[in-house]
Amino acid sequence: MAGELVTRQQALPPPGENASLIGWARKNLFSSWFNTLQTLLALGLLALLLRPALVWLFEQAEWRVIQDNFRLLMTGQYPIDQLWRVWLCLHLLAAILGLTWGVWVRGWWYIGGAILLILAVLAALARDPAVRLHLLILVGSALFGVGLGWVGGRRLLGRTLTGAWVLYFPLVLLIIRGISGGEGEFRLVPSNFWGGLLLTFLLTVVGIVVSFPLGILLALGRRSQLPAIRWVSTAYIELIRGVPLITILFMASTMVPLFLPSGVTIDRVLRAMVGITLFSAAYLAENVRGGLQAIPHGQYEAAQALGLSGFHTMTLIILPQALRIVIPVLVGQFISLFKDTSLVTTIGLLDLLGIGRSILANPQYISYQHEVLVFITFIYWSFSFLMSLLSQRLETALGVGQR
């Protein structure tokens, strides 16, 4: 049947363009009157806060206080003639990272290239020839590591790589600390000379490396069938999680000498490390326990059906799955640990924040409070933000939540 033309109203105008900038703005910023109001308020707020901040940052702030004290901020009172040892640790790290990149990652070349480019630019800008040399060696060792990894491949270098990572941290401690009784090149640098960002990193790394297995053990202990172990683990976790970190650090620094027989003393830095590790292990235990709880019972049953022992079930089946689920939470905990190392200023250690405050106590720099604090904030923020970006990438790479 020949239909009549259905008379329509005036044809509607075509839908607004969303591809261009104006279209996008219309959709996201000005779609309704309330939205427009929000946009205007937000713009006003940004202008009010950002403009004075940017003006101060680029024009009024005296950054020479940072330039003058850069070495202090980075390595504290580490003897200047032994700084090459700190650089050595960085070179080793670059080489191992490069190796990891070449063997496992083999991607994200743009990011890697960007980092190396930044280092090269810094090398060109550096005034001190020693620093320039070290930065160039850094770039070189990274490239060497990448090349070696690419050529070697996973099968050949996989084990070496794991071994290198495992050995790296104790080696760093050894290099930084030196050998007692040695004179000249590798002499002992006692821990009261470690300071600044170096101390922050050492505390963080030792905290992460030691508290991770401890936390897993505690989580397993908390879920154990044996009541004694379960109760002791639960008591420890609840006790540590109920008190602030500052009290644990304070207790570690003042009461540890009381617990030892007279004459035996522990390094102050070691006491802080012990306090941080014990604290972090309890929180990690809770996170890992959450992951363990998410594993369906079927996995345990299937492992039993295959005849795997308890230990093998844990290490081969359950823990890999559990840890993969809780990776974002774990990395969040590691970021918290990195930030919490700033609390060691209250027990007298001179980490990044502590050195910053002692610089500000110098009459020469007493009016540069804002500059030093902003710089310290920037350093903490950049490393934490990088770590959280890394955890997001790691999550997608391991396919958490998707398989």
Partner 1 sequence: MFKNIFRIFGIVLILGLLMSACGGQPTPGPTPAVENTQPIGEPTADTGEEQPEPTASGGGAAQPTQETAATPVAQVTSAQTAVPVPVTASFGETLSTVQDRGTILCGVNGQLPGFSFLDPDGNYSGFDADFCRALAVAVFGDPTKVEFRSTTTQERFTVLQTGEIDVLFRNTTWSLQRDSELGFNFGPTIFYDGQGIMVPADSGITALADLDGGTICVQKGTTTELNLADVMATEGVSYTPAVFDDVNATYGAYAEGRCDAVTSDKSQLSSVAKGVLPDPDAHVILDITLSKEPLGPLVRHGDDQWFDIVKWTVYATFAAEEYGITSENVEDEATNNQNPEVRRLLGLEGELGAKLGLSNDFAFNVISQVGNYAEIYERNLGEGTPTFIPRGLNSLYTEQGLLYSPPFR
Partner 2 sequence: MNQPQNQLPEFQKSAPLWRDERVLRIAGQVLFLILLAAAIVGLIDNMLDNMRRQGLQPDFTFFRLTSGFDIGEHLIPYDRTSTFARAFLVGLLNTLLVSGLGILIATLLGVFFGVCRLSTNFLVRQVARGYIEFLRNIPLLVLLIFLYVGVFIQLPRLREALVLPGPTLLSNRGVAIPGLVAGPTFQTYRLVLVGALLLAAGVWIGLTWQARRSGRAPLTLVWSLLAFLAAAAAGWIWLPSPPLILEPPAVQGLRVVGGVTLSPEFMALLTGLSIYTSAFIADVVRAGIQSVSRGQVEAAKSLGLPAGLILRLIVFPQALRVIVPPLTSQYLNLTKNSSLAVAIGFPELFHVSGTILNQSGRTVEVIILSMGTYLSISLITSALMNWYNQRVRLVER
- Of 41, 14, 43, 38, which Cα lies nearest the Cα of 28? 38
197-226 residues near partner 2, rule: CB under 8 A: 225-226
3-state secondary structure of 351: strand
Residues 6+ apart with CB under 8 A from 111: none
Amino acid at 124: A
CB 265 to partner 2: min, Å: 12
Stretch that binds partner 2, among 78-86, 125-133, 136-144, 339-347 (CB under 8 A): 339-347
- What is the smallest separation between the CB atom of 104 and partner 1, expressed in angstroms? 30
Amino acid at 305: A
Question: Which residue is associated with the tokens 């600044």?
Answer: 196
Least Cβ distance, residue 25 to partner 2 (angstroms) = 8
What residue 150 binds from partner 2, partner 1, none (CB within 5 to 8 A, per partner kind)?
A: none
DSSP string, 233-253: HHHHHHHHHTS-HHHHHHHHH
Partner whose footprint covers residue 342, from partner 1, partner 2, none (CB < 5 to 8 Å by kind): partner 2
Q: Which is nearer to partner 2, 162 or 382 (CB)?
A: 382
Number of C-beta neighbours around residue 221 at 10 A = 20
- Given the complex with partner 2, which of 36 and 315 has the nearer CB atom? 36
- CB-based contact 189:78 (threshold 8 Å): yes
381 touches partner 2 by CB under 8 A: yes
| Phi and psi based region of residue 181 (left: phi greater than 0; alpha: psi -120 to 50; beta: remaining) | left
Query: Of partner 1, partner 2, none, which one sits near residue 60, judging by CB under 5 to 8 A according to partner kind?
Result: none
Query: Which residues of the shown chain bind partner 1 in the complex (CB under 8 A)?
Result: 72, 77, 79, 192-193, 214, 217, 220-221, 224, 226, 229, 253-254, 257-265, 309-312, 346-348, 357-358, 360-361, 363, 366-367
Contact of residue 295 among partner 1, partner 2, none (CB under 5-8 Å per partner type): none
